[in-house]
Amino acid sequence: MGEDELHARLKAYEGRPAAVGGTGRDPVNAPMIRHWCEAMGDRNPSYTGPDAIAPPTMLQAWIMGGLGGHPGRSRAYEELLALLDEAGCASVVATDCEQEYLRPLRPGDEVSFDTVIESVSGRKTTRLGTGHFVTTRTDVRVGGELVGTHRFRVLKYAPARRPPKERRPRPVVNRDNAGFWEGVGRHRLLVQRCAACAALRFPWLPGCPTCGSPEWDTVEASGEGTVFSYVVMHHPPFPAFDPPYAVALVELAEGVRVVADVVGVPYDEVRVGMPVRLGFRRYDEELVLPVFEGVAG
């Protein structure tokens, strides 16, 4: 089926019912209003007392089907969803809703509602993938009088193909730090030592921050250290990283500090002062990084 034919078939569902003859599970009532206001932190006096009205944004609360789902979904709506499934748009995500309020709802009001398929968009490409927005409009009535409308929009889409698994960023190797990375390649963590004043320094620098001398040699770290500080990364996710994970500032036995992943212990068991031991982990065919393993204490 071509794109034009699909679009024509989708458009034919506009105006057809999505659900008919719905009734609220409970009349508008003070306990639900009270819970809502507590949850929202809304102390508007209009929602309490003998003349209380329901918060307008509760409109959807009075028409929700509960955990049982949508008992009244129409055949037309099922067909529309099936047509989109067949066209490859099998995934769904709710995108937004809009409400209009025509008169306040009060405790005791018994709502009824009908839902119509209001519109089906042309083919749209989003970050999630390509598909069609389906907008339904629910007209909410009390005793036959229209009191509000609730528009609900979903995107039925074909998920975008995921890019191949990304690799971790590469370290920037230059003449000032090449010796460090050469050491990592041999599973040695080398710390610079000033040839003039013997101060150790890390990360690598062209000159001594203590005395300014450009002359240096290296010492190999023993690998013993403790967690000086740490963070647990949850969000945002970066390609090739798998949150949550712990990254620590490790104080080496030699006194300098190194930032690296903490491995071998659950991220939520990392603590300041925890003893750790240097290791090396290969992440791909060309990337090896120093890591620190928690030492059972």
User: Whose Cβ is closer to Zn ion: residue 142's or residue 200's?
Assistant: 200
User: Whose Cβ is closer to Zn ion: residue 23's or residue 213's?
Assistant: 213
Of 10-18, 206-214, 239-247, 281-289, the window that binds Zn ion (rule: CB under 5 A) is 206-214
**Can you point out the beta strands (E) in 48-175?**
91-101, 111-120, 124-125, 129-142, 145-159
Of 74-82, 117-125, 201-209, 244-252, the window that binds Zn ion (rule: CB under 5 A) is 201-209
**Using rule CB under 5 A, residue 248 touches Zn ion:** no
**Can you point out the beta strands (E) in 160-263?**
190-194, 200-201, 216-220, 224-233, 245-252, 257-263
User: Whose Cβ is closer to Zn ion: residue 179's or residue 275's?
Assistant: 179
User: Whose Cβ is closer to Zn ion: residue 1's or residue 196's?
Assistant: 196
Minimal distance in Å, beta carbon 211 to Zn ion?
3
Of 6-14, 131-139, 208-216, 265-273, the window that binds Zn ion (rule: CB under 5 A) is 208-216
- Over the window 13 to 32, marking each residue x when it contacts Zn ion by CB under 5 A and - when it does not, the resulting string is --------------------
User: Whose Cβ is closer to Zn ion: residue 209's or residue 297's?
Assistant: 209
Of 58, 61, 89, 208, which one interacts with Zn ion (CB under 5 A)?
A: 208
Ranges within 52-111 binding Zn ion (CB under 5 A): none
Of 11-19, 88-96, 202-210, 251-259, the window that binds Zn ion (rule: CB under 5 A) is 202-210
CA distances from 206 to 25, 193, 258 (A): 73, 11, 18
**DSSP category for residue 60:** G
Of 199, 219, 263, 265, which one interacts with Zn ion (CB under 5 A)?
A: 199
User: Whose Cβ is closer to Zn ion: residue 9's or residue 193's?
Assistant: 193
Minimal distance in Å, beta carbon 207 to Zn ion?
8
Long-range contacts of 274-281 (CB under 8 A, 24+ apart): 274/226, 274/227, 275/224, 275/225, 275/226, 276/225, 276/226, 276/227, 276/248, 276/250, 277/223, 277/224, 277/225, 278/189, 278/221, 278/223, 278/224, 278/225, 279/223, 280/184, 280/187
Rounded (10°) angle between helices 3-11 and 75-86: 170
Ranges within 210-229 binding Zn ion (CB under 5 A): 210-211, 213
User: How many residues belong to the site for Zn ion (CB under 5 A)?
Assistant: 8
Ranges within 177-196 binding Zn ion (CB under 5 A): 194, 196
**Using rule CB under 5 A, residue 197 touches Zn ion:** yes
User: Whose Cβ is closer to Zn ion: residue 160's or residue 211's?
Assistant: 211
Minimal distance in Å, beta carbon 181 to Zn ion?
23
Q: What are phi and psi of 63, to 5 degrees?
A: -115, 0
Q: What count of other Cβ atoms lies within 10 Å of the Cβ of residue 279?
A: 17
Contacts of 281 (CB under 8 A, 6+ apart): 261, 263, 288, 289, 291
Ranges within 264-293 binding Zn ion (CB under 5 A): none
DSSP states along 191-206: EEEETTT--EESS--S
User: Whose Cβ is closer to Zn ion: residue 122's or residue 214's?
Assistant: 214
Contacts of 247 (CB under 8 A, 6+ apart): 230, 231, 232, 233, 259, 260, 261, 262
Site residues (CB under 5 A) for Zn ion? 194, 196-197, 199, 208, 210-211, 213
